Amino acid sequence: MDLKTAAINDLITSQIQTLFGFYKWCQSFTDPRVENWLLMSSPFPTLVFLALYLAMIKYGPIYMSKRKAFKLKWLLVVYNFGITMLNAWIAFELLYCGLKRNYNFICQLVDTSDDEYEVRIARAIWWYYFSKLIEFMDTFFFIVRKKTRQLTFLHIYHHSTMFAFWWVGAKFVPGGSALTGAMVNCFVHVFMYSYYCLAAMGPSVQKFLWWKKYLTILQLIQFTIGVVLGLHAIMTQCQFTRWMQYVFVCYAFSFIVLFSNFYNHTYLTESDKKKTY
């Protein structure tokens, strides 16, 4: 082995050791209560599921291109009703336990103790993370029903990043100020999946569903409040994990941009746009 090859091998070994050291350092911040919970010990299962999800988006429509679309009417009703109930339970569990612990819903540190309500909060946030894996089925149903126009950048970005983002939340901060974002999002999802459940029942019910666009408005309000509260926490030096506050603000702002674009393209007619000029 010549000196150049040896130097390259040493450099690669050094970089691997550095990355492994960084990984171990990150792992040291794991909330000890969740370390042995399902999918929590390592990021790799989450990354595998995410890779499979993206592969499904790429190859699923190709597989379905020469096949008949599935109807799945009552499966969709049951699925959306189940997601609605799960989000309702998570939202009320977080609210109830937060009130029991006298949480400050704007700035609250994570309590890693084995207090009954703190463990329940951590478990509810884990279920919130896991619900994002279940919600990959939204995309699967679009594909097998050949509704590929629904596979927008917003849809894919939302589903994939929420699953990854909340692995971090459940792993490192399953409580504290993370509770507020998860709780509010679950309440919004109760309305959203209730709409999907009713819409899946067919035209006889769909004609009464006049409030679809208000779901988008509700989501925009949610993310705007999230950005405001996040900036407030940063400016008031809230001691909740600082790097996560910055990430949350940027992440919520990205949704404001994307949902605003979706609202403009979906609900504003040309005449509506002219009236705004």
Tokens 């569990």 belong to residue:
93
> Using alpha carbons only, how large is the chain's radius of gyration in Å?
22
* SS3 at position 70: coil
- Cα 250 → chain centroid: 14
Compute CA distances 189 → 43, 117, 206, 207, whole Å. Answer: 26, 23, 19, 21
Tokens 């390592």 belong to residue:
42
Q: Is there a catalytic annotation at residue 189?
A: no
Number of continuous H segments (helices) and E segments (strands) in the chain = 11, 0
The secondary structure of 122-191, three-state, reads HHHHHHHHHHHHHCHHHHHHHHHCCCHHHCCHHHHHHHHHHHHHHHHHHHHCCCCCHHHHHHHHHHHHHH
Helix (H) or strand (E) holding 39: none
Catalytic option among 155, 158, 159, 189: 158
Please classify residue 275 by burial: count the beta carbons closer than 10 Å to its beta carbon, then call 0-12 exposed, 13-18 middle and 19+ buried.
Answer: exposed
> Could you give the residue numbers annotated as active site?
158
